[in-house]
Amino acid sequence: MNELATDVSVRAPPVAASAGGIASSRRVATRFALGLALALAPFLVLGGDFFWLNILTYTYLFAGLAIAWNILAGFGGQFSLGHGVFFAVGAYTTADLFIRFGLSPWFGILPGAIVSAIVGPLIFLPTFRLKGSFFAIATLAFNEVALVFANYLESITGGPRGLQVPFRAGLANMIFADARGYAILMFAFMAVALGVSVLLMRSRLGYYLLAVREDEDAARAAGISVVGVKLRATALSAALTAVGGGLFAMYVRAIDPPTLFSLADIGVKFALISLIGGIGTISGPVLGAFLIVPLESWLRALVGGTTPGLHLILLGLVMLLAALFMRRGVAGAIDALVQRWHHRHRTGQ
């Protein structure tokens, strides 16, 4: 690890202008395009069914949110349970600006992202000395404190009653009469978040993040500003999460504190999706979303009416089994299968 950290600190990322860099960039671009095409395929097949269209819309949205969470937790090793705060900031800011001033959500999303990018590092800064479960518990406390404030700041959040976004259909208002418009919008958000994640992992900051995740002391000894790297990762992760919150607000058009700060439906779900899909990988959050969101919807429909909360217990069981038997997640299991196939192909077995 010392060698890795030292290498990261003295060398810039591969230069795309070189022949190897160009070939590598093309491979990455090709995989990125193929991945998006595969993710879009269910929409092309099931887009006419409203039930599946709603599930796909949430799948794309939470895939993007899990990607944003994975930037800090997966690549940076900071397991956050407080991302619901940034999600709520984006949702309330976008909805408030639209309701009060008629500002288009296409522009209203930006202030929420900027505020989250500034506030996120500030509130997480005191907790960066903590590690593992202690850091997670501290960020969970931020989420609970924000929930209390949201209930009392009625002039901004509407208090316990929340905010109702009026239905004014139109592209400028990000409100669509055809529900397929929301699915395309969430798909675009997922694609942008995925593109940011890919670019990050090919940048100097991405190398620094991996070095800090593996060994903070070695990274610090190699000249990396550990706190600075964590702050920048938090700002990026928080901004993307706020954008997702703004999109969520315009999709459901009714937001309140219990919905936005719910650990089961928001905070923990980001982690669950990434862990099942493969935390610290590029494709893991997307794979996890395509598994968890439809599975949760099916379980909620199957047992939610007879035994409230049972679907959450079953999801927890799925997470436990995945942690025991697929420690690298779905992405890791697929990668292992591909490597095994290549090995057999090379050895002729």
Instruction: Please enumerate in sequence order all residues whose Cβ is within 8 A of that of 121, keeping only pairs 6 or more positions apart, or say none.
Output: 231, 232, 234, 235, 238
Q: Which residue has the higher pLDDT, 192 or 298?
A: 192
pLDDT digits (tens, 9 = 90+) for 106-122: 999 999 999 999 999 99
In 3D space, the residue among 250, 232, 263 whose CA is nearest the CA of residue 146 turns out to be 263
Do 278 and 284 meet the contact criterion of CB atoms below 8 Å apart?
Answer: yes
**323 pLDDT band (50/70/90 cuts)?**
low
Do 187 and 53 meet the contact criterion of CB atoms below 8 Å apart?
Answer: no
Helices (DSSP H) in the chain: which residue ranges? 2-10, 19-46, 50-73, 83-101, 105-124, 133-152, 154-157, 180-201, 204-214, 216-221, 226-252, 257-260, 268-277, 284-303, 310-325, 329-347
CA distance 285 to 235: 19
User: How many CA within 13 A on the CB side of residue 117?
Assistant: 11
Q: Quick check: 190 pLDDT over 90?
A: yes
**132 pLDDT band (50/70/90 cuts)?**
confident
pLDDT digits (tens, 9 = 90+) for 207-238: 999 999 998 989 999 999 999 999 999 999 99
Q: Quick check: 204 pLDDT over 60?
A: yes
Q: Which domain holds residue 147?
A: 2-347
The tokens for 325 are 């038997």
The pLDDT mean for the chain works out to: 86
Q: What is the pLDDT of residue 113?
A: 97
CA distance 61 to 53: 12
CA distance 123 to 114: 15
Share of the chain above pLDDT 70, in %: 89
Q: Quick check: 22 pLDDT over 90?
A: no
Share of the chain above pLDDT 90, in %: 57
Residue 254 parent element (H or E)? strand 254-255
What CATH number did the domain enclosing 218 receive?
1.10.3470
Helix (H, G, I), strand (E, B) or coil at 85: helix
CA distance 202 to 207: 8
Q: What is the pLDDT of residue 66?
A: 95
Over residues 242-271, the mean pLDDT reads 91
Least reliable range by pLDDT among 82-91, 119-128, 179-188: 119-128
Q: What is the pLDDT of residue 263?
A: 78
Over residues 179-206, the mean pLDDT reads 95
In 3D space, the residue among 203, 232, 23, 245 whose CA is nearest the CA of residue 117 turns out to be 232
Over residues 298-303, the mean pLDDT reads 78
**pTM for this entry:** 0.89
Q: Tell me, what DSSP letter sits at residue 164?
A: E
Over residues 282-301, the mean pLDDT reads 88
Q: Tell me, what DSSP letter sits at residue 267?
A: I
CA distance 36 to 27: 14
Q: What is the domain count for the chain?
A: 1
Q: CB neighbours (10 Å) of residue 194?
A: 21
User: How many CA within 13 A on the CB side of residue 181?
Assistant: 13
Over residues 322-333, the mean pLDDT reads 73
283-312 burial code (b ≥16 CB/10 A, e <16): bbbbbbbbbbbbebbebbeeeeeeeeeebb
Do 240 and 33 meet the contact criterion of CB atoms below 8 Å apart?
Answer: no
The tokens for 209 are 């993040």
